[in-house]
Structure 1
């Protein structure tokens, strides 16, 4: 059995050295990533569902959700595509006990972005953003590489907390004329 990847999530003021301005702009933008990617791709935005279902959550996810280590939860992994290329890998999780009454809503997402739901419902409040160099072992094999930056934040609505992590992939940077290896 392989060891779980180590995640070290930090706030903007804790990152030393600070990331490049173009990267920080994406990592700590509090608006809808779905809307931003849709605008950047001139409407050629799509979601590819990779995996969805019940699983044991990672320790860093349990800590962020305020549940015991090893807790079960709902997890959804997708690619957010622009121009038919994977620009972002996203993993969203919620603890099983907090999902009472919400499972049908989440199950019906399919190819719709979760951000569409979270940003269209004013009852959801977003917590602070954190960033990390995402461990390659936490990524799908097709995009696995070291050095990729990711961010995460919790969205809360009553007892429900949804933790959303988003990893910015090299094709997003290339599309904008930025060398991904320079970030």
Structure 2
């Protein structure tokens, strides 16, 4: 499948990412399970850390990315509202979160969005009965992808040339937003069996 630096090839099954994962078969299965989990990433992380926090990188209008407009159902040159965050567990960056929605639906369909600050988005999405989630899609993001460049800018230092990501659409009333989670290297520590949950402590 051809690779274009500014785009990712989004696929409907996480097994398609198997070649990207480490040779450790158990880790591969656990990572795939985290990618495919339809529940709240925030709740999963909070259960495995003593100190969960959100670092807000940006929340502002901007142009939609080249591999997002079709999925969101808007024209290629649309202006959207973007929100980028990094989720930290015990001070370590584990997930880069990217949310995008049309500017017209912020106030009407997602009234809480502009007031989130460092509150995790999942705290609203997964506890609002009006919110429905679409199937998850998966991709490997290469170094030239815009989100990879944002991660590199936020986390100076060596990063893998490719990172795993997942994304899905959430709908509320007539509005749709898209959430992308990019798994950062430190997440492996919290996926391994030795990472105990708070319930075990």
Fold match (TM-score > 0.5): yes
Cα offset, 1:176, TM superposition:
4.0
Cα offset, 1:174, TM superposition:
3.1
Distance 2:166 2:10 in 1: 8
**Structure 1, unpaired ranges of 5+:** 179-183
- 1:27-85 deviation digits (Å, cap 9, x = unpaired): 1000110000000114x111000111000111221111111111111100000110111
Which of 74, 81, 100 is matched with 2:81 structurally? Answer: 74
**Structure 2, unpaired ranges of 5+:** 22-27, 194-201
Write out aligned runs for 1:168-183 (5 A).
168-177=183-192
Q: 1:53 aligned to 2:54?
A: no
Which of 130, 153, 161 is matched with 2:168 structurally? Answer: 153
Q: 1:100 to 1:109 in 2, by over 3 A?
A: closer
- Aligned partner of 2:39 in structure 1 is 31
- Aligned partner of 1:181 in structure 2 is none
- Aligned partner of 1:6 in structure 2 is 7
TM-score normalized by the length of structure 2 = 0.79
SS in structure 2 of the partner of residue 134 of structure 1: strand
Distance 2:30 2:110 in 1: 37
- 1:139-165 deviation digits (Å, cap 9, x = unpaired): 222265322101000001121111000
SS in structure 2 of the partner of residue 133 of structure 1: strand
Which one has a bigger Cα radius of gyration?
Answer: 2
2:6–2:66 contact (8 Å) kept in structure 1: no
Write out aligned runs for 1:91-106 (5 A).
91-102=98-109, 104-106=111-113
- Aligned partner of 2:25 in structure 1 is none
